[in-house]
Structure 1
Amino acid sequence: MGCGNPYAGEVALVIDGERRVLKLTLGALAELEDAMAADSLVSLVERFETGAFTARDVARLLLAGLHAGGWRAGPDALLAAEIEGGPAEATRVAAALLRRAFALPTT
């Protein structure tokens, strides 16, 4: 996982051979809430903390973070993309996005 700028809540991920910066801005969090329908961000954070998250949770987080980072493709493009490090890396990046969105970075 590339670092991105932790002070800006950024995390990097290589998608289809290209390094992308992801972050959860207020707009990205609102997008995430819309995508989750009845669920809440608190329940999403709890699912990651307990390991009860789904692949859909990971994809939603990544897509919202990618959009805030400037990526304009939709969910189908993400689901079809080659992610360097596979599902494990995608999950680590999604968890890091949540941590960085709601906590100050430690140095």
Structure 2
Amino acid sequence: MNRLPRTVTLTANGARGEVAAMLAGAERRLCLTLGALAEMETGLGVAGMAALAERLRALSAGDLTVVLAALLRGGGEHELAGALATAPIDPRAAAEAVARAFEATA
């Protein structure tokens, strides 16, 4: 049973660096946390912030999935983060959401 879509409207906490994005048919929260950064480093196979920044400059679809999952978990969206491989997500919306999450903490 697919439980990903929901109708609840979320409020992103901008002070915490959260952003809201419409993904998989519902508004989702993404947040760049220290844990999300660590998850990205591990998932992308890089060590350190400089290597991560370099890798983020040219993401493959697989890389985008790793980064999006980490940001979703940072925002408390664990269910969607674990189901990205089969979730109906527009790649452009995913890329824009990732960019906004990084901009929110700049």
User: Superposition pairs for residues 36-55 of structure 1, below 5 Å?
Assistant: 36-38=44-46, 40-49=48-57, 52-55=58-61
Q: What is the TM-score with the length of structure 1 in the denominator?
A: 0.70
The change in CA–CA distance for 1:74 and 1:17 in structure 2 (over 3 A counts) is closer
Higher helix share: 1
Identity %: 38
Partner residue in 1 for 2:98:
94
User: Superposition pairs for residues 1-107 of structure 1, below 5 Å?
Assistant: 4-38=12-46, 40-49=48-57, 52-73=58-79, 77-83=83-89, 86-101=90-105, 103=106
The change in CA–CA distance for 1:16 and 1:53 in structure 2 (over 3 A counts) is closer
Question: How far did 1:78 drift?
Answer: 0.8
Question: How far did 1:47 drift?
Answer: 4.9
CA distance in 1 between counterparts of 2:38 and 2:77 reads 16
Question: How far did 1:34 drift?
Answer: 1.4
Partner residue in 1 for 2:8:
none
CA distance in 1 between counterparts of 2:80 and 2:24 reads 14
The unaligned stretches of length 5 or more in structure 2 are: 1-10
Question: How far did 1:8 drift?
Answer: 2.2
The change in CA–CA distance for 1:8 and 1:76 in structure 2 (over 3 A counts) is closer
Q: What is the TM-score with the length of structure 2 in the denominator?
A: 0.71
The unaligned stretches of length 5 or more in structure 1 are: none
Structural RMSD (CA): 2.6
Residue 27 of structure 2 aligns to a residue in which SS?
Answer: strand
